[in-house]
Amino acid sequence: MTEKKTFYITTPIYYPSAKLHIGHAYCTTIADSIARFHRLAGEDVFFLTGSDEHGQKIQEKAEAEGVTPIEYTDKIVAGFQNLWQRLNISNDDFIRTTQKRHEKVVQEIFRRIYAKGDIYKGSYKGLYCTPCESYWTEHQLDENGCCPDCHRPVQEVAEEAYFFKMSNYQDRILAYIEENPEFIQPASRRNEMINFIKQGLEDLCISRTSFDWGIPVPIDKKHVIYVWFDALTNYLTPIGFLDDPEKFNKYWPANLHLVGKEIVRFHTIIWPCILMALDLPLPKKVYGHGWLIVDGDKMSKSKGNVVDPIALIDEFGADAIRYFLLREINLGQDGNFSRDALIQRINSDLANDLGNLLHRTLNMIGKFQDGIVLAPQGESEIDASLKADAAETVQFFDENMQKMELSLTIKKVWAFISRANKYIDETAPWALAKEPEKKQELANVMYNLVESLRHISVLIAPFMPITAERIWQQLNLPQAFAEVQLDDIRAWGGTPADLKVGTPEQLFPRIEVEKEEQPAKQPKANKQKKEKKADKKDDSGEVTFDEFSKLQLRVAKVLAAEKIPETDKLLKLKVDLGSEQRELVSGIANHYEPSELIGKNVVMVANLKPAKIRGVVSHGMVLAASQGDDLKVVSVDMPVGAVVK
Ligand code: MSP
């Protein structure tokens, strides 16, 4: 038997400095669907996530709560594990940097590099950002003298410390990055790293003495090891670095470290230098994904816009959240999370497209064929085109999931779902059922629909594992779902004849939203009270910066424009905001032909409350400049989704 191809994938290990938010869930969900895809493709996958529990930041948090650091992290890490379970994350191990198995690895690595002469003792005087656990030099700070990553104040640190001779590896790491374009992705991050290294790598301070929550330096117990030196080595611990060489050789080098864009530097400069010092091969790929922002803004406690993934899962279910995150956001770029867009996707893609396809199919088989899938015979042109589309979709899925094109792949699978829905309309089974001589034709249509759904169940499994299995079970397919592989849908016809399908159960209930003019729904008393309060507060006509910054102005591309019948001024526009598409109404019909607007990048108020205008739910407002009779929409040469501030 040939050995299975292996695939080792990791997420960052998360700081238990607070509860995890939807941005962390995004990162782990991406990794989970990639891991699930590789398992489906028949590979031997090892998927690792965990918690990064040492360091000054955690010690300070624990002190603030009056508990020991380990009491503090135990509680928060239990929350992480609960979240991953609720999201159906299929990790093969969960590493905690406080575990003995990890401490042993870190100390051994320190010893080996010290013995090699690449670690030396010196004294550190410089700047430190505790929230990022990062050292900085004066010239690296931002324009306000703060941390260039998180823009918070840095502290002066002066301590005796051990240093890692990163400078020894500068040329090798630069050459490696330049010679291996696959190593850092996307390409923009690769260029940033090349520029960073070209400015010169300084030796890295890898121990601290001013607090003690860390792994002791094995040769000098008053020092604890710098948290990033400790954290990065987590990737070696669970695959047997110290105790299982066979396992280690099987999985190392990792195929993919998936990380957020702000920690690419640690993974593509510091980590490779550590590995080179250990004479170990470098990971094959480090992918720096973009951030999830909320309604156009970065999530933060102080802004009060932190989205709790558990609350969302309770409300909408894990698969709907997973679908939204993976479908809406392009991996390399920042992407927006909005509740409205989530609900829209659930209703249109999940309840409507997918839910209806399953429901209609099972209903018709129940009604026309007593729930039995009959053997197909022959094929029409429409049947042949459906099968060709299925084969093309499977091919696309395979190629694009290998390339981590998750959003593109999902869109392609949904195009096939729409195709299958259209097949029902084209073949009109209800009409075939009325003509006894068309019995075989009807049987063929029913067979093809079940077979399409069998394909769809497998194709959505990496993204929505629970829904995939629910579809499989409603189809009542005999093969155990856990054993299904991508190879099972490489050919048409895997559904056995005479299968008795189940009765349809709803996959996703539609979410009802308030569609009518929302401002008019505000209780009157409350509204008057608010207006009075506003009157009292300020009648200068000036707005504060805080008031202004509530407005979210974003660049959007006009995709379609049409006049609203029986109005003079109103156009209905469809716009693309990058993270979502919207419909809105604009009173500019006297100034523009609809076709003149198509393709323009306009500025819009993205967080205007939706209102129903002439039967159209208008979600946002396009800005325009006017003087006298002249009016022009505000249009800028910036990409879709850009924030105007
Ligand atoms: N502990 C370090 C990682 C060590 S890996 C050896 C760390 N932890 S973290 O908890 O601050 O962040 C973990 C990951 O979550 C990072 O990759 C970060 O980019 C990601 N995210 C945090 N907020 C995010 C969003 N809003 N959106 C997407 N990812 C986000 O860094």
Q: Which amino acid is at 77?
A: V
| Mean pLDDT across 583-595 | 89
DSSP secondary structure letters along 181-193: TTTEESHHHHHHH
- The answer for residues whose C-beta is within 8 angstroms of residue 285's C-beta and 6 or more apart is 182, 183, 184, 185, 255, 256, 257
Q: What is the pLDDT of residues 4-19, one digit of tens each?
A: 999 999 999 999 988 8
Q: Quick one: pLDDT at residue 546?
A: 61
User: Could you tell me which residues come within 8 angstroms of residue 308 by beta carbon, excluding any fewer than 6 positions away?
Assistant: 19, 21, 22
* Distance between CA atoms of residues 169 and 269, nearest Å: 9
pLDDT at 522 over 50: no
Question: How far is it, in rounded angstroms, from Cα 353 to Cα 599?
Answer: 28
Ligand 1 centre to CA of 25 (Å) is: 10
Residues pairing with 9 in the sheet: 47, 256
Whole-model pTM: value is 0.80
Q: Which of 10, 11, 14, 267 to mutate to test the pocket of ligand 1 (most atoms within 8 A of CB)?
A: 14
Nearest CA to ligand 1 atom 10: 14
Q: Which atom of ligand 1 is nearest to 261's Cα?
A: 19
Q: Which atom of ligand 1 is nearest to the CA of 299?
A: 26
Q: Is the pLDDT of residue 517 over 70?
A: no
Q: Give the residue, by CA position, lying nearest to ligand 1 atom 7.
A: 14
Please give the residue that has the higher pLDDT: either 632 or 461: 461
* Cα 260 to averaged position of ligand 1 atoms, centre (Å): 6
Q: Kindly report, residue by residue over 32-80, the tens digit of the pLDDT.
A: 999 999 999 999 999 999 999 999 999 999 999 999 999 999 999 999 9
pLDDT band at 121 (very low <50, low <70, confident <90, very high): very high
**Hey, whose CA ends up nearest to atom 6 of ligand 1?**
232
Instruction: Identify which has the larger pLDDT, 295 or 547.
Output: 295
Q: 22, 28, 263: which to mutate for ligand 1, most atoms within 8 A of CB?
A: 263
The number of beta carbons lying within 10 Å of the beta carbon of residue 231 is 27
Choosing from 15, 20, 22, 24 the residue with most ligand 1 atoms within 8 A of its CB, the one to mutate for a pocket test is 24
CA pair distance 551, 530, nearest whole angstrom: 19
Name the residue with the closest Cα to ligand 1, atom 13: 14
Task: Enumerate domains of the chain plus CATH numbers.
Answer: 345-500 (1.10.730.10), 544-644 (2.40.50.140)
How remote is the CA of residue 14 from the centroid of ligand 1, in Å?
6
Mean pLDDT of 375-400: 98
List pLDDT tens digits, range 241-254.
999 999 999 999 99
* Numbered residues of the known binding site: 129, 132, 147, 150
Query: What is the Cα Rg of the chain in Å?
Result: 29
Q: What are phi and psi of 117, to 5 degrees?
A: 95, 10
Ligand 1 centroid from CA 459, angstroms:
29
CA angle 572, 577, 580 (to 5 degrees): 90
Which residues make Cβ contacts (< 8 Å) with residue 355, sequence separation at least 6?
A: 506, 507, 508
12 CA from centroid of ligand 1 (Å): 7
Question: Which pLDDT score is estimated for 459?
Answer: 98
Q: Provide the residue type at 197 as one letter.
A: I
Residue with the larger pLDDT of the pair 48 and 593:
48
Whose Cα sits closest to atom 18 in ligand 1?
A: 260
* Ligand 1: centre distance to CA 397 (Å): 28
Instruction: Tell the residue nearest (CA) to atom 23 of ligand 1.
Output: 23
Contact 50, 33 (CB under 8 A): no
Helix (H, G, I), strand (E, B) or coil at 48: strand
Annotated binding site for Zn(2+): 129, 132, 147, 150
Torsion of CA 79, 85, 87, 91, to 10 degrees: 110
- Band the pLDDT of 528: cuts 50, 70, 90: very low
For residue 391, the model assigns a pLDDT of 98
Asked if pLDDT for residue 109 goes beyond 70, the answer is yes
- Residue 604 tokens, joined: 């819009």
- Shortest-distance Cα residue to atom 24 of ligand 1: 23
**Which ligand 1 atom sits closest to the C-alpha of 52?**
1
Per-residue pLDDT, 362 = 98
Q: Which is the closest atom of ligand 1 to the Cα of 298?
A: 26
Single-letter amino acid, residue 371: G
pLDDT at 382 > cutoff 50: yes
| 135, 327, 462 from 406: Cα distances, Å | 35, 7, 10
Q: Are 603 and 621 in contact (CB under 8 A)?
A: no
Give the residue-averaged pLDDT of 194-221: 95
CA of 20 to the centre of ligand 1 (A): 10
Looking at residue 428, its pLDDT comes to 97
Residue 580's pLDDT band (boundaries 50, 70, 90)?
Answer: low
pLDDT at 534 exceeding the cut of 60: no
pLDDT for the residue 299: 85
Determine what percent of the chain is predicted with pLDDT higher than 90.
76
Sign of CA dihedral 359, 363, 365, 370: positive
CA of 21 to the centre of ligand 1 (A): 10
Residues with CB under 6 Å of ligand 1 are 12-15, 23-24, 26-27, 52, 231-232, 234, 259-260, 262-263, 291-292, 299
Query: Across all residues in the chain, what is the average pLDDT?
Result: 91
User: Of 121-130, 337-346, 367-376, 625-634, where does mean pLDDT reach its minimum?
Assistant: 625-634
* Cα 251 to Cα 257: distance, rounded to the nearest angstrom: 13
Give me the pLDDT at residue 305, please. 87
Ligand 1 centroid, distance to 309 Cα (angstroms) = 15
Give the up-direction half-sphere exposure of residue 513: CA atoms within 13 A in the CB hemisphere. 18
CA of 243 to the centre of ligand 1 (A): 29
Tokens of 476: 């009542």
Query: Is residue 644's pLDDT more than 90?
Result: no
Lowest mean pLDDT among 53-62, 259-268, 407-416, 615-624: 615-624
CB atoms under 10 Å from CB of 117, counted, come to 10
Helix, strand, or coil (residue 644): strand
Residue 593 to residues 163, 562, 567, Cα–Cα distance (Å) = 67, 9, 14
Q: What is the pLDDT of residue 549?
A: 66
Which pLDDT belongs to residue 638? 83
Residue 520 has pLDDT above 50, yes or no: no
Prior bond of 253 cis (ω within 30°): yes
Q: How many CB atoms lie within 10 A of CB 255?
A: 19
587 Cα–ligand 1 center, Å: 43
